[in-house]
Amino acid sequence: MGPKFESTFGSAFAIIEEIERKGGEAFIVGGSVRDYLSGSEVGDIDIATSEPPKRIQEIFEKVIPVGIEHGTVLVRYDGESYEVTTYRTEKGYQDYRHPDEVTFVKDIKEDLARRDFTMNAIAMDRHGEIVDPYKGRQAIEKKEINAVGNPTERFQEDPLRMMRAVRFASQLNFSIESRTKLSILEQVDLLSYVSIERIAEETIKLYKGKGFKLGLKLITDLGLKPYLPQLNKIDLIRTIPYVSLQTWPEVIAYYTSAYSEAGVKEWVKEWKLSNRSKRNTEALLNGLQEYERNSKLTQWLLYNLPSYLYPSFSRLIRACINIDDHLLQKMEEEKFHLPIQARNDLAFQAKDLLLLYPDLKKGPWISETMEKVEYAVVTSEIPNEFEKIKEWVSKWNPPANS
């Protein structure tokens, strides 16, 4: 099959070969097969096997029982981790997510029958031979998303699959087949049974997709928008960003800057995001406001925005304004040439300020003064030299001791 084939799946094939040597059967399944057949970059490689978890634990030295009750273990092999799951069938989904009954089986085709979409219901052996009972390869060639079997049943098993269909459309730039699309329209209210955390994960993957514009249109056309907090109040078609956004802070900053009446706090609360996401969103918004005030990158913007947010900020600006692709490089270069990188780099510190005004009682005036010093140095109003800063500060009239 060629060196690329071997380099992509080599270690996984070694695991399969070892299982076969011990009398079992195994295949690579799911997204990695889909990505390989569609020419996309292959992500995590999952393996399905006829052998029960206990047998896999006997065959391999390093096995972690991550989901052993559902037949899944993690095999550590050649420095990498592979999920190995026993062929299974599933029955009953009272909670619209987890099967009420899991039965281990010996036929890979039975296992493939429980999967969501035909493009994900393909198995590949270690020789590159394909097992494709639902014409998933044909769906990939047609760039079409089809539910396995009856789409109504697939979405009732886990309504999140409706969001997954739209997310895959965005990631792969595929269309959704008419029966599958109709079933989403008819059952969209089942999304109310799905946790917002799971919906959030699919939503941000949609925004990352190369076909995110198609994804946002499908969100609207298929009636999914009411189940997306805050986004449900925005015309997603008229407000499409120029480039894809990769993180929730980018998405929230983009919409709250111009299209949303809600603040960052409301977005974070309703989507149940982390405090870190809240802080990052606020930092991006502050940077965006500084950029819009000055119509350019400023030293103060680059100084205050954490460097790890530079890629996010670059995408945010491009999403809003559609400027060139060299913004990130420019930011990193200009950050390097700032007079200081942090307040601790100032040649004049708070202790020096207190020595300059020994009769003043400590209070907010200290931090307020140091902020002015910091701003003046960062913006090159004064050089970062002790005597120059001291002289600059001495010209002021500090607040009287109250």
Binding site membership: which residues?
31, 34, 44, 46, 115, 158, 161, 164, 167
| 304 SS3 class | helix
Contact indicator for 8, 43 with CB cutoff of 8 Å: no
Judgement on whether residues 15 and 133 belong to the same structural domain of the protein: yes
pLDDT-above-90 percentage for the chain: 82
Lowest mean pLDDT among 7-11, 146-150, 258-262: 7-11
In a domain, 239, yes or no: no
Judgement on whether residues 213 and 277 belong to the same structural domain of the protein: no
In a domain, 238, yes or no: no
Judgement on whether residues 260 and 199 belong to the same structural domain of the protein: no
Contacts (Cβ under 8 Å, ≥6 apart) of 203: 163, 167, 228, 231
pLDDT-above-70 percentage for the chain: 94
Of the pLDDT bands very low, low, confident and very high (cuts 50, 70, 90), residue 277 is very high
In a domain, 240, yes or no: no
Query: The tokens of 253 are what?
Result: 């900053």
How many structural domains compose the chain?
4
Binding site membership for Mg(2+): which residues?
44, 46
Question: Which among 228, 257, 280 is the end of a domain?
Answer: 228
Contact indicator for 143, 34 with CB cutoff of 8 Å: no
Query: The tokens of 133 are what?
Result: 């009972």
Binding site membership for CTP: which residues?
31, 34, 115, 158, 161, 164, 167
> Which CATH number do you get for residue 373?
1.10.246
Binding site membership for ATP: which residues?
31, 34, 115, 158, 161, 164, 167
For 188-232, the DSSP string reads: GGGGGGS-HHHHHHHHHHHHHSTTHHHHHHHHHHTT-GGGSTTGG
Judgement on whether residues 116 and 8 belong to the same structural domain of the protein: yes
Per-residue pLDDT, 402:
42
Judgement on whether residues 200 and 323 belong to the same structural domain of the protein: no
Contact indicator for 394, 319 with CB cutoff of 8 Å: no
Judgement on whether residues 292 and 260 belong to the same structural domain of the protein: yes
19-68 pLDDT tens trace: 999 999 999 999 999 999 998 889 889 999 999 999 999 999 999 998 88
What residue numbers bound the domain in which 30 lies?
1-137
Of the pLDDT bands very low, low, confident and very high (cuts 50, 70, 90), residue 328 is confident
Say which residue, 144 or 324, is predicted with more confidence: 144
In a domain, 236, yes or no: no
pTM higher than 0.85: yes
287-309 pLDDT tens trace: 999 999 998 899 999 999 999 99
Query: The tokens of 353 are what?
Result: 């300020």
